[in-house]
Amino acid sequence: MRRSPSHRESGFTLLEVMIAIGILAIGIGAILVAENNSLDVTIRAKRMNTVATLARNVMVEAEREIQGKPFTEVRTESFGKFDAPFADYSWERKIKEISFPKIMSQNQGGSGSGDSGTKPEIDPNAERVVKIATSYLSKATREVTVTILWKDKGENQKYSVSQYWVDLNHEFKMSEE
């Protein structure tokens, strides 16, 4: 008995089925990888939101501690751990004085006469005012840095944020210390 050509082409061969299963497996694998990456990104975003909120809370607490006090009465370093549900996190706070660059007078810098690149003369009074102002700002300004520490996948992680505070009540002295 002879088969008609249409009957022979109506089914799938084993090779065609295997190719379809392979394509399907690759597609499902790609979807799983994308879903896993999406989950990792979501977890990281949640972690960074938590860390940023904890850092903000420590900074606010530092502001409460410092408010109304001269910088000389405030601890320069402190640290601690958070209560549950954030017991996996700890914090450090450092307060340091900001040093503004010293202004060099023309006498100190030494500009030779006859140089084609001579600097214009600086008024000594203006120079003195700038020195007094930078000295005052150095003593009245602090950098407050809060660092949040935690472990993620067995590795130490940290997130730091800094703020600059000026004590406008700092005593103003007319000297160039």
Q: Are 90 and 82 in contact (CB under 8 A)?
A: yes
Closest Cα to residue 88, out of 54, 124, 39? Answer: 54
Cβ contacts of residue 74 below 8 Å, gap of 6+? 65, 66, 95
Number of domains the chain is built from: 1
2 part of a folded domain: no
74 part of a folded domain: yes
141 part of a folded domain: yes
142 part of a folded domain: yes
113 part of a folded domain: no
171 part of a folded domain: no
- Give the pLDDT of the chain (177 residues) as one tens digit per residue: 555 555 556 788 999 999 999 999 999 999 999 998 999 999 999 999 999 999 999 999 998 988 878 888 888 999 999 999 999 999 999 999 888 777 665 555 544 444 555 666 778 888 888 888 888 888 888 899 999 999 988 999 999 999 998 877 767 766 655
7 part of a folded domain: no
Range of the domain at 150: 14-107+123-166
**Single pTM value for the model:** 0.65
131 part of a folded domain: yes
